[in-house]
Structure 1
Amino acid sequence: MTTGFARLPDAPAFRLADLRVPACLIDGDIAADRNGLARIDLTIADGRIETIAPIGVMAAGAGPTLDLDGGIALPRLVDCHTHLDKGHIWPRSPNPDGTFPGALKTVGADREANWSAEDVRARMDFSLRTAFAHGTAAIRTHLDSLGKQIGISWPVYAELRSEWAGRIALQASPLFGADAALDPSHMQAIVAAVKAHGDGLLGCVTYMIPELDRALDILFRAAIENGFDLDFHVDETNDPAARSLEHIADAALRHRFEGRILCGHCCSLALQAPEDEARIIAKVREAGIAVVSLPLCNMYLQDRQQGRTPRWRGVAALHELKAAGVPVMIASDNTRDPFYAYGDLDLVEVLREGTRILQLDHSGLDWANAVARTPAQAMGVEAGVIAAGAPADLILTRARGWTELFSRPQADRTVLVSGRAVDRTLPDYRELDHLMGQAS
């Protein structure tokens, strides 16, 4: 198949020569340059990476060769926080003012009016085709899990997970407000849905309700009893009084929880007094919690006031968390819905814009982990690294350094799955017009 820059060898075994790869994403000890990029050759056989070697070291005889001329290659990437069930409803339900309350109200009304199995399936499949074309290997989505929607979205999700097996590894976590955890009938329905259709994940949106600790105890006990991991939406606000992240860490320590915990957003952590921030981060590390920041969505929503320039970026204190040893990552979050009007489930875009928003440059050479190795570990999936014996799942670009990679959208990238280039044609938004009513 013709790629963005050359023709891949049509052979069961071939060589990719002269790639630049972030050293943090290679399993093996290969020297890197001052930008953290290792220059390597790969051999690929029967869809898997057979050998990795510094450029020019590999012996001849590995079959036909494609010279990448120093272009950056990445493993297929891992999107650990998305909302596939909400995606692409903007044309029929736009956010009236761009605020978080506006998003909540608009999504709630759209869900009640429109989220049939057919509607949810069509929009989720559209999103998966988009992510696959961009080079995503694994996705965790949150599914709105309230009332009748539990019985609609979870079976659809399970069907799509089966259909997409071998292309994208899918996981789902339930999404509901922490107060709903206090309702035994709701929790019974949630646990039943996760057991029947899910992936051993439980979670909710946490906020500072008086019963937060009791709600967390219910969730942690349910997770322990059923062997579930946990995934929370946390403190998505600019209010420094929002400290549910600390309550989650306390609950994890109180219950001696041994499963994985991922906390998303954690926006208000960046607005704490230094001594409070340090205390909370220390607890997060002790509790074994990982944190994902959603820079595109939170920059869109946070600190938005009509006629006033925003004063902050709305992102988590990722540098401080990482420095303390907390696993950190970034992800797509919402796509063309009232929480974020834009986005395309493109993790190359997320890494590019996240680097600018969070100033990840000039602060270490391993931030590529944040969309690859680290979220793969948080999800417990095999992806996000380049390793001998692993599937030859790669994103190939013409960019020879970070400034070239981040200065353009890399629309001509090539995506390999098991050593073969996939069709990168993106689905047309017109496919969803029949779901949008009078909107277009």
Structure 2
Amino acid sequence: MPAEFMTLPDAGRFALVNATLPAVLVKGFAAPAKEGLIAADLIISDGKIERILPAATAPADLMKADMRGGMAWPCFVDMHTHLDKGHFWDRRPNPDGTFDGALMNVREDRIANWSAEDIRVRFEFSLKSAYAHGTKLIRTHLDSIPPQPDISFPLFAELREEWKDRIALQAVALLPLECVPDEAVFNGIVATTKRYGGLLGGATRILPDFEKILDTLFRAASDNGLDIDLHVDETEDKQVLTLEAIADAKLRNRFEGSVTVGHCCSLARQDDDTAKRVIGKVAETGISVVSLPMCNMYLQDRHANRTPRWRGVTLFHELTAAGVRTAVSSDNTRDPFYAYGDMDPVEVFREAVRILHLDHPLDTSARVVTSTPAEILGRPDIGVIAEGGPADLVLFSARRWSEFLSRPQADRIVMRNGMGIDRRLPDYRDLDPLLEK
């Protein structure tokens, strides 16, 4: 474990003093802000945030931990991941780094290796990493090509129960939309998804009768009380723009559930009039958008012996300005779709600031890995700092944005219920028995 910058008191009631908080994440307390950062003292009692006070006003008789201006954030939300896919790169790499290569290698590895035992080890490795980094809520997509749902969803339910006091878990059935017209197959996936409290999802692309497929998907979700979370337009091909069709389908079917879309890369390839029209529809329908900046930059515009010409990400600023709820997330981790990553929202945030230009100003940027994804996932109680809420915090030595964004913050302290956790990350050697197949 790296040397930590401070020591928390071993007490039921104490104060974190001289803390710097992202104002956008603080509820019920206001103070003068500089670059969206405010100074405060936090009174922690029996695992909860009892009071948020102006800096240097904590009661004199309380035991104190001096943050010396360091930042305190709420725990993170990673709203688009693939925990069933993670950590098998060494077993089945994607040598050319292309999207088609990723599809092929995942398919072959799934057929050969994805037993409940195999997925459990890799899934838990990701959870251990995420927990050590300070994550409290994760939504994962689960590959749902039959017979995989009957393996992955029961395992997910077991892990959701086992981890419920550490990380809240949600699951999306990532089904091939080609199967929707096959009633037996589609109805089976819907039934499994409903049984385990999941969401319906899939990766959209232009298919014959695409509008009919979307209508069937939306009706199934409505009839079964399910929300929808789709992979959308993960391509540089500007001829592919299914995002508009999804917005139209939500309106046409008067769907009242939540709809989230991820990627939306080809939106950035459109002319201004087309982009404005589509963004307007997304805002009108209340669809939320999550960008996956690290994976999108890795896969998009990748061609052999050629430098990429564009960043691969969606029109994040334009969507946000139109009133669309926007967030960023990890996506894949050490698998054929993305060879790297560690389920660390600080890394995701730092890279998103660079890739998406979420800086200058940075006043509200902290929301993209905390409060906004929590709201999208229906958990507005997570990702904020509020009196009466749990003292689930991530503490940093960094005092200002330049300090925060210039280092990986490896010396952070993660607090759960007012106590520091063991932040040791799992050892990659734990995966060796799986990868030697």
Question: 1: CA distance between counterparts of 2:287 and 2:2?
Answer: 43
The answer (yes or no) to whether the contact 1:23–1:32 under 8 Å persists in 2 is no
Shift of 1:364: 5.0
Alignment of 1:129-208 (within 5 A): 129-199=128-198, 201-208=199-206
Question: 2: CA distance between counterparts of 1:347 and 1:90?
Answer: 21
CA change 1:241–1:264 in 2 (3 A) is same
List per-residue Cα deviations over 1:212-242 (Å, max 9, x = no partner): 1111111110111111111000000001111
Name the structure 2 match of 1:326: 324
Residue 268 of structure 2, aligned match among 254, 258, 270: 270
**One-letter code aligned to 1:96:** P
CA change 1:172–1:120 in 2 (3 A) is same
Question: 1: CA distance between counterparts of 2:127 and 2:273?
Answer: 42
Name the structure 2 match of 1:72: 71
**One-letter code aligned to 1:269:** L
Name the structure 2 match of 1:396: 395
Shift of 1:357: 0.6
Residue 377 of structure 2, aligned match among 376, 379, 398: 379
The answer (yes or no) to whether the contact 1:154–1:193 under 8 Å persists in 2 is yes
Question: 2: CA distance between counterparts of 1:121 and 1:196?
Answer: 20
Partner SS for 2:374: helix
The answer (yes or no) to whether the contact 1:2–1:8 under 8 Å persists in 2 is no
Residue 238 of structure 2, aligned match among 234, 237, 240: 240
Shift of 1:57: 3.4
Question: 1: CA distance between counterparts of 2:210 and 2:19?
Answer: 50
Shift of 1:205: 0.9
Partner SS for 1:70: coil
Question: 2: CA distance between counterparts of 1:106 and 1:156?
Answer: 23
CA change 1:58–1:246 in 2 (3 A) is same
Shift of 1:58: 3.8
Question: 2: CA distance between counterparts of 1:364 and 1:425?
Answer: 30
**One-letter code aligned to 2:329:** A
Question: 1: CA distance between counterparts of 2:115 and 2:159?
Answer: 15
Name the structure 2 match of 1:42: 42
Name the structure 2 match of 1:231: 229
**One-letter code aligned to 1:6:** M
Partner SS for 1:130: helix
Partner SS for 1:69: coil
List per-residue Cα deviations over 1:52-88 (Å, max 9, x = no partner): 1221234434x21001000011100000000000000
Question: 1: CA distance between counterparts of 2:232 and 2:361?
Answer: 25
List per-residue Cα deviations over 1:34-68 (Å, max 9, x = no partner): 3100111100111010111221234434x210010
How many residue pairs get matched?
A: 436
Name the structure 1 match of 2:288: 290
Name the structure 2 match of 1:124: 123
Shift of 1:195: 2.0
CA change 1:363–1:178 in 2 (3 A) is farther
Shift of 1:401: 0.7
Question: 2: CA distance between counterparts of 1:19 and 1:278?
Answer: 41
- Does residue 1:340 correspond to 2:355, yes or no? no
Shift of 1:2: 11
The answer (yes or no) to whether the contact 2:194–2:226 under 8 Å persists in 1 is no
Question: 1: CA distance between counterparts of 2:239 and 2:140?
Answer: 28
Question: 2: CA distance between counterparts of 1:182 and 1:280?
Answer: 27
**One-letter code aligned to 2:156:** Y
The answer (yes or no) to whether the contact 1:3–1:414 under 8 Å persists in 2 is no
Question: 2: CA distance between counterparts of 1:362 and 1:182?
Answer: 48
- Does residue 1:260 correspond to 2:283, yes or no? no
**One-letter code aligned to 2:157:** A
List per-residue Cα deviations over 1:262-319 (Å, max 9, x = no partner): 1000000111110000000000001100000000001000000010000001001100
Alignment of 1:57-68 (within 5 A): 57-61=57-61, 63-68=62-67
The answer (yes or no) to whether the contact 1:173–1:198 under 8 Å persists in 2 is no
CA change 1:112–1:418 in 2 (3 A) is same
Percent identical: 56
Name the structure 2 match of 1:113: 112
Residue 211 of structure 2, aligned match among 207, 210, 213: 213
Q: Could you state the TM-score of these two structures normalised by the residue count of structure 2?
A: 0.98
Alignment of 1:74-113 (within 5 A): 74-113=73-112
**One-letter code aligned to 2:378:** G
**One-letter code aligned to 2:100:** P
**One-letter code aligned to 2:128:** R
The answer (yes or no) to whether the contact 1:393–1:417 under 8 Å persists in 2 is yes
Name the structure 2 match of 1:6: 6
Question: 2: CA distance between counterparts of 1:317 and 1:183?
Answer: 35
**One-letter code aligned to 2:56:** G
Question: 1: CA distance between counterparts of 2:52 and 2:209?
Answer: 53
The answer (yes or no) to whether the contact 2:15–2:58 under 8 Å persists in 1 is no
CA change 1:32–1:339 in 2 (3 A) is farther
Question: 1: CA distance between counterparts of 2:3 and 2:372?
Answer: 28
The answer (yes or no) to whether the contact 1:235–1:245 under 8 Å persists in 2 is yes
Partner SS for 2:180: helix
Shift of 1:257: 1.5
Gaps of 5+ in 2: none
| Superposition RMSD in Å | 1.3
Question: 2: CA distance between counterparts of 1:321 and 1:2?
Answer: 39
Name the structure 2 match of 1:420: 419
Question: 2: CA distance between counterparts of 1:349 and 1:2?
Answer: 17
Q: Could you state the TM-score of these two structures normalised by the residue count of structure 1?
A: 0.97
List per-residue Cα deviations over 1:175-219 (Å, max 9, x = no partner): 0222122211122111121122233x1111111112211111111
Shift of 1:3: 7.3
Gaps of 5+ in 1: none
Question: 2: CA distance between counterparts of 1:185 and 1:393?
Answer: 44
**One-letter code aligned to 1:8:** L
